[in-house]
Structure 1
Amino acid sequence: MPFIAALAVASAALIVSFIAVWLVQLRSRNAGMIDPVWAAALGTVALFAAAAGSGDLVNRLFVAACGGIWGWRLGVHLWRRNAGRDEDYRYRAMRIRWGATAPRRMLALFVLQAAIAAALSLAFFIPAYQAARPTVTGATASLAIWLASVAGEAAADRQLRRFVAKPERSGQVCDDGWWRYSRHPNYFFECLHWCAYAAWSAGRPWGWVTLLPPLLMGWLLLRVSGIPLLEAHLQDSRAGYRDYQRRTSALIPWPPRRPPAPSTRDPTEPRS
């Protein structure tokens, strides 16, 4: 299938699927179920890109395996986290703020998410249509990035799930495992995942396009719908979160900052 036709089919399928989820949430009033569908849909698009692509078989197998496993693992995780629970606070806040216009605005939001997913899927379509394979070094680096990202995101998700499952930790800040070094390690590994396709496609026709998905994802998480919204909520719902912000890197895992040493000067002593 020609590249443009395959991308158009995938984009249309994403829009139709997300509109279907929007119709379901009109009855359930739980718009948060779009999150697992978003991840699984992208995993499915990776499989479609690999099947429709005319590139080298190795390239298409890479896209199918890496994109499919990533998307469906994340989709299943988000489904288990959200199913049977109240609507995610972000969507609930939007619903309250929008009032009577919430249904059509939520539809616009879902269609926007479909468009973002289509843009991210370029990371799958470009390598699936490249005739030449990467070098051994490039392939090794790409697989290492992908393995690190998926394993790291799965570990961070598991650490947070175990933390919130303990009743005595309710309302506290998770700083176990990866969360000690990053306030959002799952977001970091999410961005890192998209870099694997850029590394795989580097140095070949249109390979530069695969830089756009990790840049787009990083911008969304850092500036738009990820960290800003989540941290505004956590500051009000988690005791000690502001201290956690001061000592812990926002995204890239990094050793915690040490608190400033207490002053030894006598407060009654006059300044010289």
Structure 2
Amino acid sequence: MQFLALGLEPMVFVPILRRPRLPGLAPNKFHETLKFDEPFCRSSVNAFGYAFGEDRKLNYLPLVGIAIGISLAMAIAWMIQRATNRSGWIDSIWAFTVGLAGAAAALASYGTFQRRLAIAVLVLIWSVRLGFHIAARMHGKDDDPRYRSLIDGWGSSAGWRLFVFLQIQAVAAVVLTVSVFVAASESGVFPGRLDMVAIALALLAIGGEALADYQLARFRGTVEARSQICEQGLWRYSRHPNYFFEWLFWCSLPVFALHGPAVIAASAAPILMYWLLVHVSGIPPLEDHMERSRGELFRELKRRVNSFFPGLPKGGAQK
């Protein structure tokens, strides 16, 4: 038995078992007797960056470069905001950054090439659609109300606090990128059943979010938008259907990795996105703004319509 040190703190040693030679049993026959167990061992060790039975270590160096690039991109977003006093481009820059970083991570992974390519394409489609949607929505506007509220609340310390806030967003982007990298590391035959389910889920999420964004944009162009709140289409069943489908997209990553231990790391993306959207930077500041601008009308909507997960409205939707 040998012990292999992983690059973790504190130091962790993983036992690597060498195949014994049993009397009267050829090595290939012994391999066949263990074939029910070895794939799991190989996948388990690969999840930490090692290939079973080989002296090959998974190269995480591309992820380091990608993480540095993400941090620099968000630093550029900060400089743009400070130079122009406009925060509307921040989320668009973040979406494009995650897309490029995720695609690079998928292609740099070590799974089946077709799977890596499929995941890279899906992440790019998500990124391009969301990035251009945010850019179009903010065109001609000075500020995103969520960022303006934060900046006003920070007062004289807004400069450095915004920089730290955007670097925290960079960390979140790195977590998403690592999840993409791990999901793309599966080396089974592509496309398998789980691959097809994952691709369908990702496309459904992208389409659902695009539809929700379109329905909201169409409502904002009507006279009713001046005094009412959108309850048309998907907005009848959730106060934030766009956020729901955004989260659903990242749920496709653990499905790609569902047949191996990599599913644990791939699940970090939907867990993180749910926490951010529902508890941190998504729903809370947006609904605070809605309560200030719509008052009792929005509070009445909150009593009838689910916040995140779609469901039938209580007592019927507003006509």
Same fold (TM over 0.5): yes
1:11 alignment counterpart: 67
Query: How many Å separate the matches in 1 of 2:189 and 2:72?
Result: 34
- Please list the CA deviations of residues 150-190 of structure 1 after superposition, one character each: whole Å capped at 9, or x if unmatched: 11000000000001112342142000000000000001001
SS at match of 2:60: helix
AA partner of residue 254 (structure 2): A
Report sequence identity in percent: 35
1:197 alignment counterpart: 253
Is 1:251 aligned to 2:312, yes or no? no
Which runs of no fewer than 5 residues in structure 1 stay unpaired?
260-272
Q: 1:69 to 1:3 in 2, by over 3 A?
A: farther
1:54 alignment counterpart: 110
Residue 80 of structure 2, aligned match among 13, 24, 38: 24
Equivalent residues in 2 for 1:29-178, closer than 5 Å: 29-133=85-189, 136-178=192-234
Answer whether contact 1:123 1:194 (CA < 8 A) is retained. Answer: no
AA partner of residue 161 (structure 1): A
- Please list the CA deviations of residues 200-223 of structure 1 after superposition, one character each: whole Å capped at 9, or x if unmatched: 111224221111110111011111
2:277 alignment counterpart: 221
AA partner of residue 251 (structure 1): F
AA partner of residue 311 (structure 2): W
Q: TM-score, normalised by structure 1?
A: 0.90
Q: 1:130 to 1:201 in 2, by over 3 A?
A: same
Which runs of no fewer than 5 residues in structure 2 stay unpaired?
1-56
Query: How big is the alpha-carbon RMSD for the aligned residues of Structure 1 and Structure 2?
Result: 1.7
Task: Provide the aligned length of Structure 1 versus Structure 2.
Answer: 259
Answer whether contact 1:132 1:204 (CA < 8 A) is retained. Answer: no
Q: TM-score, normalised by structure 2?
A: 0.77
Q: Which gives a bigger RCO, structure 1 or 2 (Cα 8 Å, sep 6+)?
A: 1
Answer whether contact 2:99 2:127 (CA < 8 A) is retained. Answer: yes
1:241 alignment counterpart: 298
Which is higher, the Rg of structure 1 or of structure 2? 2
Answer whether contact 2:88 2:141 (CA < 8 A) is retained. Answer: no
SS at match of 1:98: helix
SS at match of 1:121: helix
Answer whether contact 1:134 1:201 (CA < 8 A) is retained. Answer: no
AA partner of residue 67 (structure 1): V
SS at match of 1:162: helix
Pairwise CA distance, 1:23 = 1.0
AA partner of residue 258 (structure 1): G
Query: How many Å separate the matches in 1 of 2:192 and 2:158?
Result: 51
Higher helix share: 1
- Please list the CA deviations of residues 25-57 of structure 1 after superposition, one character each: whole Å capped at 9, or x if unmatched: 111111231101111111111221233222211
